[in-house]
Amino acid sequence: MGNLSKINLKLENQVAKNISINSVLKFVIPSLFGVFMFLWPVPSGVAISTPVGIISVWLASNLKGFLPIFIVYVTVFSASVCLINSIIKPKFIRNNPKINNLFSETPFFLMSRIIGALFAILIYNKIGSEVIWGADIGGNMFALGATLIAWFFAHLS
């Protein structure tokens, strides 16, 4: 029992040495910012929302005309770089772990990206059957994509 008390006391002293006001502030300030952005209720018109919700709605409404083509470009770029990475295996991608992780796919997911890019092009340009690019399918896809992009950029702020 005596040794256990000494170990506990030593551990408590070590923990106390590692806790400084700087490390506490590095935890508390971003936590408070996160609580405010994601949980704090803010009146917005007739509804109540969060700051990140207000920012995302503002972004979606102001970028409405730009977001569909942005979705197409990002989808085609992603599929193209994945295809290049799987066929050519360029060193600048393979030597960068973050980029390699983004653009290294199994054959199934590579085909999924390519098919997604093709559908994005078809829907944006209204090529083919209206079943694909009509408001119920393609229109919903672009609306959802625009909302997700707006949320993504709102979370970056």
* pLDDT by 10-residue block (mean), the chain, 157 residues: 60 62 88 92 89 85 84 92 93 90 91 93 89 83 80 71
- Residue 57 confidence (pLDDT): 83
- Residue 77 confidence (pLDDT): 95
Residue by residue, DSSP assigns 40-101 as --EEETTEEE-HHHHHHHHHHHHSTTTHHHHHHHHHHHHHHHHHHHHHT--HHHHT-HHHHH
Domains in the chain: boundaries = 2-40, 58-156
